A and B are shown apart, each in its own frame.
Chain A
């Protein structure tokens, strides 16, 4: 019994030591980061009053009444905002569709079971680049290249969607059953035909799922495109925040959040139907 207990104690002690060491390293990192960014808890505590007053002003109208008491006044700009929201949705939609198409075309070239090593290497690096650079950075550059407006936003979303979906699609394509592909190739089919008749039927539902999920993410992405002048509701939000139109900020935020909720529910439903039907 005694040697067993000793061994157990030893094992536990080693685990504890490792845990303590990692905690120490993490603590040092936190301390350094807090010092570096001048994160001051006391400042936060001392300013808690002004912070909470800012947030309480968000839910009060200019008249001083709570926003809920007068929805007509709260949403005074409903018509222009809903138009901008529609534009945001449209940017997200077009960006998603174009990105899905791009990712779809590239995923076969990036898949190790369907492509040669050189094509694969270039496609993969390209996809990596597209998804690692933040979409808003693309938007900043595209605004300069293509001019202000939703087109820059659409293109930025397209590039980013293509990069991230390209990778996910590639993973799906790499996990297919290769027997149908072999069958088509052995019957004399071309590469394109093998993709169409052997790969596509296996992967389509997976691709549709990822595409749908991406649309939801892209809506949130397109809601901030306006910050850099790339279209959508972000512009209105930026102006309201900068000019301290408090109730407008909360109204626009509510509209965005409600849209996200609706999209969330719709995608969940569609996904359910997709998995039931496919």
Chain B
């Protein structure tokens, strides 16, 4: 029986085809350079952020203490307060998402190449969506609080603003990828532009858009749990207060409640999305 591995044959193969197996020297040096730069930047960042072994150990010990103090999770007498705040959070997420979708849809239609002909209007809208999208929900919450005062109302508006940008982009991309053949069919039978949109485009994009809105509702329940940190309503306000006052058992209860609710919403929403047949946006 011959050996499985024949060193001689291997060497021959390498000498014949070696150049194909190896990266070019230039390419290799290039990659090494990038890696070295990335590593140097990482070290610089760690120093800038004042990382140190002593600090890590001290912090980890304190985290361990917190973890011990968190057990068992216990809401004390505030159970009702926390549950109500959680419902607030869900309400903020729902209203914010829907308001964003309602306002974003008509503008997204105008921002779509296959529906609206004037390019600079589309360009302007696209950039506006990007601008709004570039700002975090929490920043919007901070701004809306200054404009309308503290409370869930500011939270709804912040959620709606942040999602408005995201929806505008997503919806218009969805509309642009719609199949043009139904539209042409309607045009060939003498349909108006409005009819082309209503019967040619809308039936194609509606399920996808509904799926996207649901997906955002899902992710917004997560964001809505934190906007309270700046005072925009919901469970976040209690959570940040509890952390600052070191009420660890309450903290662990609230975090656990958030995790359970988010998981439940995820479950329901992914079921619904499957029913609608919409896709998950990337």
Whether A associates with B in a native complex is: yes
**B-side contacts of A50, CB under 8 Å:** 147
What is the count of residue pairs linking A and B with beta-carbon distances less than 8 angstroms? Answer: 157
Contact B95 A241 (CB under 8 A): no
Contact B63 A54 (CB under 8 A): no
Question: How far apart are the CA atoms of A144 and B66 in the complex, in Å?
Answer: 10
Is A42 an interface residue, CB under 8 A from the partner? no
Within 8 A of B (CB), among A13-66: 29-30, 32-34, 36-40, 43-44, 47, 50-51, 54-55
**B-side contacts of A231, CB under 8 Å:** 49
Mostly, the A contact residues are helix
Is B25 an interface residue, CB under 8 A from the partner? no
Is B92 an interface residue, CB under 8 A from the partner? yes
Contact A134 B226 (CB under 8 A): yes
Is A136 an interface residue, CB under 8 A from the partner? yes
**B-side contacts of A151, CB under 8 Å:** 49-51, 55
Is A192 an interface residue, CB under 8 A from the partner? no
Is A123 an interface residue, CB under 8 A from the partner? no
**A-side contacts of B278, CB under 8 Å:** none
Contact A136 B226 (CB under 8 A): yes
**B-side contacts of A260, CB under 8 Å:** 134
Q: Which one of B83-91, B106-114, B117-125, B170-178 is at the interface? A: B83-91
**Distance in Å: Cβ of B94 to nearest Cβ of chain A:** 5
Contact B134 A257 (CB under 8 A): yes
Contact A238 B142 (CB under 8 A): yes
Contact B130 A146 (CB under 8 A): no
Question: How far apart are the CA atoms of A208 and B263 in the complex, in Å?
Answer: 28
Contact A94 B46 (CB under 8 A): yes
Tally of A interface residues using CB under 8 Å:
60
Is A253 an interface residue, CB under 8 A from the partner? yes
Given known A-B contacts A33-B94, A54-B146, A136-B226, A257 and B48 have beta carbons under 8 A apart: no
**Distance in Å: Cβ of A264 to nearest Cβ of chain B:** 8
Question: How far apart are the CA atoms of A273 and B246 in the complex, in Å?
Answer: 49
Question: How far apart are the CA atoms of A147 and B46 in the complex, in Å?
Answer: 15
Question: How far apart are the CA atoms of A38 and B233 in the complex, in Å?
Answer: 11
Within 8 A of B (CB), among A71-126: 87, 90-91, 93-94, 97
Chain A residue with minimal CB distance to B89? A37
Is A223 an interface residue, CB under 8 A from the partner? yes
Q: Which one of B10-18, B74-82, B148-156, B188-196 is at the interface? A: B148-156
Question: How far apart are the CA atoms of A238 and B46 in the complex, in Å?
Answer: 25
Within 8 A of B (CB), among A228-278: 228, 231, 237-238, 241, 244, 249, 253, 256-257, 260-261, 264
**A-side contacts of B153, CB under 8 Å:** 37-40, 43-44
Contact A237 B139 (CB under 8 A): yes
Question: How far apart are the CA atoms of A187 and B5 in the complex, in Å?
Answer: 9
Question: How far apart are the CA atoms of A136 and B233 in the complex, in Å?
Answer: 16
Contact B59 A134 (CB under 8 A): no
Is A169 an interface residue, CB under 8 A from the partner? no
Given known A-B contacts A134-B225, A150-B48, A256-B134, A36 and B142 have beta carbons under 8 A apart: no
Question: How far apart are the CA atoms of A216 and B26 in the complex, in Å?
Answer: 29
Contact B239 A137 (CB under 8 A): yes
Given known A-B contacts A50-B147, A94-B42, A136-B226, A253 and B142 have beta carbons under 8 A apart: no
Is B201 an interface residue, CB under 8 A from the partner? no
Return the 5 tightest CB-CB contacts between A and B, nearest first.
Answer: A33-B91, A146-B59, A94-B45, A260-B134, A37-B152
